[in-house]
């Protein structure tokens, strides 16, 4: 058997510990599948003395994790620290400067610096792999880069954040409101003490921008993702959606289009959507992730599974290491970084579909007429309208008005919201959720 692939591991948290345990438990199987052993030679973490459930003294220790990339007894560095910049980025750059490969689960770093790192990796003829950065243990990046490589991908979308999906599906099952379920998710470890990256959609946007680049061959553009999280979703919205035959899910969606000048434009959006209960994504519950990719010959592909956790994410990390051990380097984003095409953001105004709009209003005569007039003047046709439920806003009781639009351009909804902006009848800005269509 060939010489072992020697790896250094930066970060020994949930995923890092899972990687160590997986490599130790399945060493023989991994060696057979990789064609050579994969061995940990050095590690780094914040707390050297912490009990992590394995014998850390078996491996060389570096207090400064950036030094891992310079060690002579390391072929590949595994970065599991996180953060778009700082030590993680410094380690990645040092690793490529030293001519070594990098495996990372760091979606923020790839979303912000992926193009730079891909160029560095390709110039050094080294591997850059990040399967674990998107959807945990689901091999969606490998599926797009390899299984669907011969296809033009029309659209990629899905449930990309397990925390949000846990909260929404629990609200659905229990009828409880957002704040109550979030607190429970934090107590159970499904949500961070500061959950902003998850519930405000940033984590899903990081992942979506990575998937879009791989699917469409475009330069990664996290800054162009239109992001809305789930903070404003009420139990009343969940109930209304259910009455209409829908579930609410936070959906990340990307596709490409060609404008009148022949310019390729990239659409990327993370928003809560109403998903019809017959759609496959409607039944993705709990902390599960699911991604749909649509190719011109392969049709619709559905990737579903655990989107986080030590076991699934460690599995994705070690799968990348096995590929590198086999000599599979390849372009990080499926095609060489220099050939990725810049794509300006697409205008969503001409996109058509149905939408759910919820208004929190003063319960007084004329309010419904004002909303209906704004819809009419903006050219938005109303399919159904329901006034049901009340909430407290700034100590005052307010009524909830929900409506579903007929199929039409999104520009009409934007115009209707403009017409209603500043109306004294509205206690807060309307909540707009698009309806996912096949």
The answer on pLDDT for 257 being more than 80 is yes
Please identify which of the residues 50, 142, 207, 388 carries the catalytic annotation: 207
- The helix (run of H) or strand (run of E) holding residue 396 is strand 396-405
- Report which of 332, 249, 322 is spatially closest to residue 292, judged by C-alpha positions: 249
Query: Does residue 50 carry a catalytic annotation?
Result: no
Instruction: Give DSSP secondary structure letters for 125-145.
Output: T--EE-GGGSSTT--HHHIII
- As to burial, measured by CB atoms within 10 angstroms (0-12 exposed, 13-18 middle, 19+ buried), residue 110 is buried
Confidence of residue 393 (pLDDT cuts 50, 70, 90): low
User: Residue 248: its pLDDT value, please?
Assistant: 97
- Report which of 253, 312, 251, 249 is spatially closest to residue 283, judged by C-alpha positions: 249
Confidence of residue 255 (pLDDT cuts 50, 70, 90): very high
The answer on pLDDT for 395 being more than 70 is no
Confidence of residue 92 (pLDDT cuts 50, 70, 90): very high
Average pLDDT over residues 180-188: 91
Distances (CA, A) of 49 to 22, 44, 45, 62, 63: 21, 11, 10, 13, 12
- Report which of 17, 94, 76 is spatially closest to residue 326, judged by C-alpha positions: 76
Average pLDDT over residues 71-98: 97
Confidence of residue 394 (pLDDT cuts 50, 70, 90): low
Candidate CATH numbers 1.10.150.390, 3.30.70.260, 3.30.465.10, 3.40.50.970; the one for domain 349-436:
3.30.70.260
The answer on pLDDT for 420 being more than 90 is yes
Please give the CATH superfamily to which domain 5-133 belongs: NAD(P)-binding Rossmann-like Domain (3.40.50.720)
Reduced to 3 states (helix: H, G, I; strand: E, B; else coil), residue 281 is helix
Using CA atoms, how far apart are residues 247 and 240, in angstroms rounded to an integer? Answer: 9
Helix residue spans in 5-125 (DSSP H): 14-25, 27-34, 86-97, 107-123
- The helix (run of H) or strand (run of E) holding residue 156 is strand 153-159
Across all residues in the chain, what is the average pLDDT? 93
User: Residue 138: its pLDDT value, please?
Assistant: 92
pTM: 0.95
What percent of the chain is predicted at pLDDT more than 70?
A: 99
Question: Residue 81 corresponds to which tokens in the numbers above?
Answer: 């620290």
Candidate CATH numbers 3.40.50.1820, 3.30.830.10, 3.90.550.10, 3.30.360.10; the one for domain 140-306:
3.30.360.10
User: Residue 258: its pLDDT value, please?
Assistant: 85
Confidence of residue 134 (pLDDT cuts 50, 70, 90): very high
Q: Where are the domains of the chain?
A: 5-133, 140-306, 349-436
pLDDT tens-digit series, residues 31-70 = 999 999 999 999 999 888 787 788 888 999 999 999 999 9
Average pLDDT over residues 221-249: 95
Confidence of residue 102 (pLDDT cuts 50, 70, 90): very high
The answer on pLDDT for 375 being more than 80 is yes
Of 396 and 155, the one with more pLDDT: 155
Using CA atoms, how far apart are residues 403 and 357, in angstroms rounded to an integer? Answer: 5
User: Residue 396: its pLDDT value, please?
Assistant: 73
Measured at the CA of 22, the angle between CA 20 and CA 27, to 5 degrees, comes to 100
The DSSP bridge partners found for residue 159 are 290
The answer on pLDDT for 1 being more than 60 is no
């Amino acid at each position: 058997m060939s010489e072992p692939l020697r790896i250094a591991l930066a970060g020994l948290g949930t995923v890092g510990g899972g990687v160590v345990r997986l490599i130790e438990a399945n060493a023989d199987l991994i060696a057979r599948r990789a064609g050579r052993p994969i061995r940990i030679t050095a590690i780094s973490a914040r707390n050297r003395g912490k009990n992590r459930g394995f014998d850390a003294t078996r491996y060389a220790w570096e207090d400064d994790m950036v030094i891992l990339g310079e060690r002579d007894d390391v072929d590949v560095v595994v970065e599991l620290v996180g953060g778009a910049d700082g030590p993680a980025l410094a380690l990645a750059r040092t690793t490529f400067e030293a001519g070594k490969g990098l495996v990372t689960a760091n979606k923020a770093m790839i979303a912000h610096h992926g193009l730079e790192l891909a160029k560095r990796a390709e110039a050094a003829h080294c591997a850059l792999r990040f399967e674990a950065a998107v959807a945990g243990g689901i091999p969606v990046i490998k599926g797009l880069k390899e299984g669907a490589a011969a296809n033009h991908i029309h659209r990629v979308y899905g449930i990309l954040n397990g925390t949000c999906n846990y909260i929404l599906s629990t609200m659905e099952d229990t009828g409880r409101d957002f704040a109550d379920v979030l607190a429970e998710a934090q107590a159970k470890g499904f949500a961070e003490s500061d959950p902003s990256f998850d519930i405000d959609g940033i984590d899903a946007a990081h992942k979506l921008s990575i998937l879009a680049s791989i699917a469409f061959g475009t330069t990664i553009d996290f800054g162009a993702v239109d992001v809305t999280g789930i903070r404003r979703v009420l139990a009343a919205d969940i109930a209304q959606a259910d009455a209409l035959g829908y579930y609410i899910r936070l959906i990340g969606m990307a596709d490409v289009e060609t404008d009148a000048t022949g310019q390729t434009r990239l659409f990327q959006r993370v928003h809560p959507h109403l998903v019809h209960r017959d759609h496959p994504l409607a039944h993705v519950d709990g902390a599960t992730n699911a991604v749909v990719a649509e190719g011109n010959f392969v049709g619709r592909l559905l990737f579903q599974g655990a989107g986080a956790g030590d076991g699934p994410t460690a599995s994705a990390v070690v799968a990348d290491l096995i590929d590198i051990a086999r000599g599979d380097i390849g372009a990080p984003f499926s095609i060489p970084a220099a050939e990725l095409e810049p794509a300006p953001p697409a205008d969503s105004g001409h996109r058509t579909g149905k939408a759910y709009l919820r208004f929190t209003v003063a319960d007084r005569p004329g309010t419904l007429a004002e909303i209906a007039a704004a819809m009419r003047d903006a050219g938005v046709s109303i399919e159904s309208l329901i006034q049901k439920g009340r909430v407290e806003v700034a100590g005052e009781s307010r009524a909830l008005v929900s409506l579903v639009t007929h199929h039409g351009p999104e520009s009409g909804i934007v115009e209707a919201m403009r017409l209603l902006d500043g109306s004294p009848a509205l206690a807060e800005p309307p909540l707009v959720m698009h309806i996912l269509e096949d």
